[in-house]
Chains A and B, each alone.
Chain A
């Protein structure tokens, strides 16, 4: 007998809007439970009859003790996931992939840099660092978004001020925005960076990660201390379907989080 394991049924314990097109859903096991997730690892979430997509966990333990995922409605599956309401069932498999290497950051200042919904996979990092403040140096969180309306976790971001230095910027401010305008990397000039004892964790659009990582290295960070979380088409999440290749990497297996030292050259090759 041989059989591919289907997803496990998980029940939506809670679901709420983050922005106009982005929702978070907290999932609790309806029966058997998946092994624990680490920050940066992802699940394949199956919307009944529609399909499955890879989504990194945005909180490892929600208010109901479940896994939280933040989903932006950009395709059929993500739209179906955004339509889930409390009590609905989704299929979950995972945890998949290589997450953020937080152990490598112990003793270091932790620099979290997020663009848009890229903050979602980084939020468990913030939680983990805030849970063990003694293990790390300073925590600096730089968040960028297209517009103020595209900022996710706005209230929670405010709650991080104090234990962390938090800077938020938008590309297009609109009415009533009193914060910074521009790309997140502009903050780098105003940080008292200690390059030899800083670990940076970056997630956002690929072009943003490329520029950010390059700027960080230019400011003296060792490339392998800059971690990025990359996205490619994924079907199986088990290294067998071939879709998520980036040169020598299978991003579902070797990623999604990889050291910039491994991808700096790869990201420069067009259409790799």
Chain B
């Protein structure tokens, strides 16, 4: 498999009509990039349609001539998939370079789209962390905040999820190749539960669930297994957090639990900003 892939990704002749694809990593766990490799059945078909020119997880970048893998590619690339958030000054520079050499730039996953779990630092003092974690914090160069790619460069499309959904990734790529808008909706996860026939776990069992304010795309996996949605795709468009917070309280969550459930992979989503106040203000009231 790997041998085949390498052959398929070797730079073709100048007349190669395939659009070029690059995959970039910033502060992240690599899980979203691996989703591309997880497209096992489609991967060979994909490499017939695009030339994967830069993807450190898979092949030495620009490696055909024996050159070592490099963080920065040459480009230009037709489609860039960007994973991870910006947490260092170097990355803040590098994303500018990536943007310059990319025609169409798609962020993949919660880190690149919302800042990721590492954006928890945005709510506290980073120096304290450094002192607590590292014996010699002076060697650590990091920014005060973890920010999404869109805070630094224009982004053409943002793919949600921690990690992203492989069907959605394929949809973004095939839609780009076909010149159409990706069929990716920004409505609630509830749409997906209902379409697949899952009984609402909040209504039937009182299970707290973020589905009503969470961006669809995962296929509503967790509720199908009796587990409340924990929002790994981040906020849907125009979520009603005041009502959601009241409902979570009604379903038995404490102020602390409510704050924490929104402080995960998409903690720095601006839509979630009012949650701490909402959780605190309604502590003594509940749904009529």
Contact = CB atoms under 8 A, between A and B. Distances in A.
Do chains A and B make direct contact within the complex (CB under 8 angstroms)? Answer: yes
Interface of A: 49-51, 75-77, 79-80
B238 interface: no
Interface stretch (B27-35, B118-126, B177-185, B269-277): B177-185
Interface residues of B, number: 4
Contacts of B179: 49-50, 76, 79-80
Interface in B134-190: 178-181
Contacts of A80: 179-180
A80 B179 CA distance: 7
Contacts of A77: 180
Nearest to B181: A76
A51 B178 CA distance: 10
Contacts of A75: 181
Contacts of A79: 179
Nearest to A77: B180
A241 B178 CA distance: 25
**Sorted from nearest, which 5 A-B pairs have the closest CB atoms?**
A50-B180, A49-B178, A76-B181, A76-B180, A80-B179
Contacts of B181: 51, 75-76
A80 B181 CA distance: 11
16 contacts: A49-B178, A49-B179, A49-B180, A50-B178, A50-B179, A50-B180, A51-B180, A51-B181, A75-B181, A76-B179, A76-B180, A76-B181, A77-B180, A79-B179, A80-B179, A80-B180
A49 B171 CA distance: 12
Interface in B39-66: none
A112 B181 CA distance: 36
A94 B80 CA distance: 40
A84 to B, nearest CB: 12
A44 to B, nearest CB: 16
Contacts of B180: 49-51, 76-77, 80
Contacts of A76: 179-181
Contacts of A49: 178-180
Given A77-B180, A79-B179, 9 more contacts: A50-B178, A50-B179, A51-B180, A51-B181, A75-B181, A76-B179, A76-B180, A76-B181, A80-B179
A180 to B, nearest CB: 38
Nearest to B180: A50
Contacts of B178: 49-50
A79 B178 CA distance: 12
A51 B180 CA distance: 8
A75 B180 CA distance: 9
B190 to A, nearest CB: 18
Contacts of A50: 178-180
A76 B183 CA distance: 12
A178 B185 CA distance: 48
A51 B182 CA distance: 11
A49 B180 CA distance: 7
Interface string B178-208: 1111000000000000000000000000000
Contacts of A51: 180-181
B148 to A, nearest CB: 24
Nearest to A83: B179
A114 to B, nearest CB: 29
Nearest to A51: B180
A49 B49 CA distance: 15
A228 B261 CA distance: 51
Interface centre among B178, B180, B181 (most CB of A within 10 A): B180
A241 B179 CA distance: 25
A85 to B, nearest CB: 15
Nearest to A50: B180
A37 to B, nearest CB: 26
A19 B178 CA distance: 25
A75 B181 CA distance: 9
A12 to B, nearest CB: 17
Nearest to B177: A49
B28 to A, nearest CB: 29
A50 B180 CA distance: 5
A81 to B, nearest CB: 11
